[in-house]
Amino acid sequence: MRITERPNPPTGWKRRFFRMPITLYRWHLGALLGRRFVLVEHVGRRSGRTRQVVLEVVNHDEVRHGAPDGWVVAAGFGTTSDWYRNLHAHPRARAQVGRDTTAVDAEFLDADAGGELMAHYGSAHPGLGARLCSTMGFEVDGSEADFREAGRNIHFVRLRPVRG
Q: Residue 22 maps to which CATH number?
A: 2.30.110.10
> Model confidence over 97-154: pLDDT tens digits?
988 899 999 999 999 999 999 999 899 889 988 988 888 889 999 999 999 999 999 9
Range of the domain at 128: 2-161
7-26 pLDDT, tens digit per residue, is: 667 778 877 887 889 999 99
Predicted confidence at residue 4, as pLDDT, reads 66
**8 Å CB contact between 121 and 58:** yes
Distance CA 71, CA 159 (A): 5
pTM above 0.75, yes or no: yes
Total tally of structural domains belonging to the chain: 1
pLDDT tens per residue, range 139-162: 999 999 999 999 999 999 999 999
Give per-residue burial for 3-42: e unless 16+ CB within 10 Å, then b: eeeeeeeeeeeeeeeeeebeebbeeeebeebeeebbbbbb
